[in-house]
Amino acid sequence: MPSTSSQSVSPEPESLWIAGEGGRLFAQRWPRRDAAAAPIVLLHDSLGCVALWRDFPARLAAASGREVIAYDRLGFGRSDPHPGALAADFVASEAGGGLRAVCDALRLQRFVLFGHSVGGGMAVAGAALHRSRCAGLIAESAQAFVEDRTRAGILAARAAFARPEQMERLRKYHGDKAPWVLRAWIDTWLDDGFAGWNLDAPLAQVACPTLVLHGDGDEFGSARHPERIAAGVAGAATLRLLADCGHVPHRERGDEVLGIVAAWLESSGA
């Protein structure tokens, strides 16, 4: 297989608006070379959106030959505002909400889920709920439970976002929804009522092949998270702990991540 850094990047994506239960969802799709392969659906992190994946979806499509689809969850990016606060079960409910709406609207009969950070938890929930359609699961920097290290990272981020320039940066991607996006992340994860949350139940329902990626320097979670995910799924699991890497491997170690993912997709049958 040729080096991912030398592969041509996919053409410009198609932009779509999808009707969700609480409002319109913005999505983009990057075309595939391999019409028979299951497309990859990306689920973003707590402050993320389609635009914040940057060039990764295009590079992933080029490296894998598969269609790649990314969407903004309700309340994020270009999607409609969220009508209220996030529910305590927001990780699990995304599988039957926005993710289902996107997969149904695009008539995806078979797909691979790739989630980053909290999106990784949502990908786990999606793989569990949509077992008949999910051909593979990729969990990158996902949290499997609420760890002291996770809360410490969020407290540090809260202090950083007290600076006006940081909020302006968030507004660049979320517009007037930026304050809600920040509160949804910080208030939810620091709520004492959320302290007992974990992925154990959906993990036990994941039957498809699973790839777990995690940086050894991840500021939002120790290696206990990928270890718990890999041990908890019912299907075959591959764990790759990336040395000298933080919370965003697809940005910090892009070529390495693309190589790992492309090779795993080919070998796992996902």
Domain ranges (residues) in the chain: 4-144+198-268
Tell me: pLDDT of 157 over 70.
Answer: yes
CB contact set of 201 (below 8 Å; sequence gap of 6+) = none
**How are beta strands 237-242 and 210-215 bridged, if at all?**
parallel
User: 187-209 pLDDT, tens per residue?
Assistant: 999 999 999 999 999 999 999 99
pTM: 0.94
Mean pLDDT of 36-54: 97
CB atoms within 10 A of CB 75: 21
Side-chain-side CA neighbours of 82 within 13 Å: the count stands at 23
Side-chain-side CA neighbours of 132 within 13 Å: the count stands at 2
What pLDDT score was predicted for residue 97? Answer: 97
Tell me: pLDDT of 222 over 50.
Answer: yes
- Burial (CB count <10 Å: 0-12, 13-18, 19+), residue 261: buried
Side-chain-side CA neighbours of 164 within 13 Å: the count stands at 0
CB contact set of 195 (below 8 Å; sequence gap of 6+) = 146
H-run or E-run covering 110 = none
Alpha helices in the chain (DSSP H): 56-64, 90-96, 98-105, 118-129, 148-160, 164-174, 178-190, 200-203, 224-232, 249-252, 254-268
Tell me: pLDDT of 226 over 70.
Answer: yes
Residue with more model confidence, 3 or 191: 191
Cα separations in angstroms, 195 against 41, 182, 201, 240, 261 = 28, 19, 16, 27, 32
What pLDDT score was predicted for residue 6? Answer: 40
Cα separations in angstroms, 20 against 94, 100, 134, 192, 266 = 11, 9, 20, 30, 33
DSSP assignment of 138-152 equals: EEES--SB--HHHHH
Instruction: With cut-offs at 50, 70 and 90, classify the pLDDT of residue 10.
Output: low
Tell me: pLDDT of 130 over 50.
Answer: yes
What pLDDT score was predicted for residue 13? Answer: 95
Class of the CATH domain delimited by 4-144+198-268: alpha beta
